[in-house]
């Protein structure tokens, strides 16, 4: 089952999916960015979009935020902006819509197929009701996190090349050890940013996506994305998202061992 060290997860044939009933996957995010449409901040303008997705995401809350721009005279506060948050009743699935992006995220990932179906629903509603013309960036992000006994036996769960200081005698004393790599996926105009390593209790390198815990953890964060402008067409967006998700899975399978798959319910 384990991919060979000679395999290149960026180009090799995709490994067969092994469902993990108890996967340590804490969050999955798909984000589609587009040129700003200021009318999205108007409630009446967004209402038809809400009606199209309200069956899946019946809870709506508006969040108002302010940003800053650093200039020669120091930081300048920007006008307030609105992000619409549509969520499921259990809050495990959420859609965020702002003037320049739409995102779907979950803490209850079921399968790649289910994720892409939900993405198609949301992006299709956006194409019909709001009609952005261009995609500026599309990204798919998977975040796995090991804690407790899994962290104690991480040398059996994760490929040696990914362990870094965690595999050494000083590993138990390490408070933080985060590695980062940016890969270019050949001939696909797509890249993958990977971050992995140890976080201390209360630590995070991205508070918006990785919640602080009251214990140490080891994180594998895979963000596969394309920044090549493309028409805002639902089928094309879903197809690109599928490619990003598949390549993320290939690298995930390259990084973990068969013991990892067994630990989380994928192998007998």
What gap in Å lies between CA 81 and CA 260, rounded to an integer? 43
Contact 107, 88 (CB under 8 A): no
Domain limits, the chain: 25-263
- Nearest Cα to Cα of residue 62 among 85, 79, 78, 40: 85
Q: What is the pLDDT along the chain (268 residues), one digit of tens a residue?
A: 567 767 899 999 999 999 999 999 999 999 999 999 999 999 999 999 999 999 999 999 999 876 655 667 667 666 778 999 999 999 999 999 999 999 999 999 999 999 999 999 999 999 999 999 999 999 999 999 999 999 989 999 999 889 888 777 887 788 899 999 999 999 889 999 999 999 999 999 999 999 999 999 999 999 999 999 999 999 999 999 999 999 999 999 999 999 999 999 987 7
Predicted local distance difference test score (pLDDT) of residue 169:
80
Q: Quickly tell me which residue has 């019909």 as its tokens.
A: 128
What is the pLDDT at residue 20?
A: 95
User: Mapping DSSP to helix (H, G, I), strand (E, B) and coil, where does residue 265 land?
Assistant: coil
Closest C-alpha among 193, 210, 88, 198 to residue 139: 193
Query: 37 Cβ partners below 8 Å, 6+ apart?
Result: 99, 100, 130, 132
| Contact present, 166 and 173 (Cβ < 8 Å) | no
pTM of the model: 0.92
Assess contact for 82 and 63: CB atoms under 8 A: yes
Residue 18 backbone dihedrals phi, psi, to 5 degrees: -120, 100
224: its two tokens: 């596969």
DSSP-derived letter for residue 91 is S
DSSP string, 206-247: -TTTS---SS-EEEEEEEEEE-S-EE--HHHHHHHHHHHHHH
pLDDT at residue number 40: 97
Record the tokens describing residue 253, joined without a space: 């399978």
Given this model, what pLDDT does residue 7 score? 85
């Amino acid at each position: 089952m384990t991919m060979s060290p000679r395999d290149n997860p960026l180009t090799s044939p995709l490994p067969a999916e092994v469902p993990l009933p108890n996967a340590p996957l804490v969050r999955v995010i798909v984000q589609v960015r587009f040129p700003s449409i200021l009318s999205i901040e108007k409630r009446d303008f967004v209402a038809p979009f809400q009606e199209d997705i309200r069956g899946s995401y019946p809870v709506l809350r508006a969040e108002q935020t302010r940003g800053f721009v650093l200039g020669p005279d120091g930081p300048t506060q920007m006008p307030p902006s609105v992000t619409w948050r549509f969520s499921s009743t259990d809050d495990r699935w959420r859609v965020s819509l702002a003037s320049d992006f739409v995102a779907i995220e979950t803490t209850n990932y079921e399968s790649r197929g289910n994720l892409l179906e939900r993405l198609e629903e949301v992006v299709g509603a956006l194409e019909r009701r709001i009609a952005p013309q261009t995609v500026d960036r599309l990204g798919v992000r998977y975040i796995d996190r090991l804690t407790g006994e899994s962290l104690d036996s991480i040398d059996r769960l994760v490929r040696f090349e990914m362990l870094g200081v965690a595999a050494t005698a000083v590993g138990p004393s390490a408070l933080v050890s985060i590695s980062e790599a940016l890969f270019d996926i050949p001939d696909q105009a797509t890249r993958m940013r990977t971050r992995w390593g140890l976080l201390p209790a209360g630590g995070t390198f991205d508070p918006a996506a990785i919640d602080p815990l009251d214990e140490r953890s080891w994180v594998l964060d895979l963000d596969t994305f394309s920044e090549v402008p493309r028409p805002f067409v639902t089928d094309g967006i879903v197809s690109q998202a599928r490619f990003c998700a598949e390549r993320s899975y290939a690298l995930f399978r390259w990084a973990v061992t068969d013991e990892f798959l067994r630990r989380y319910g994928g192998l007998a």
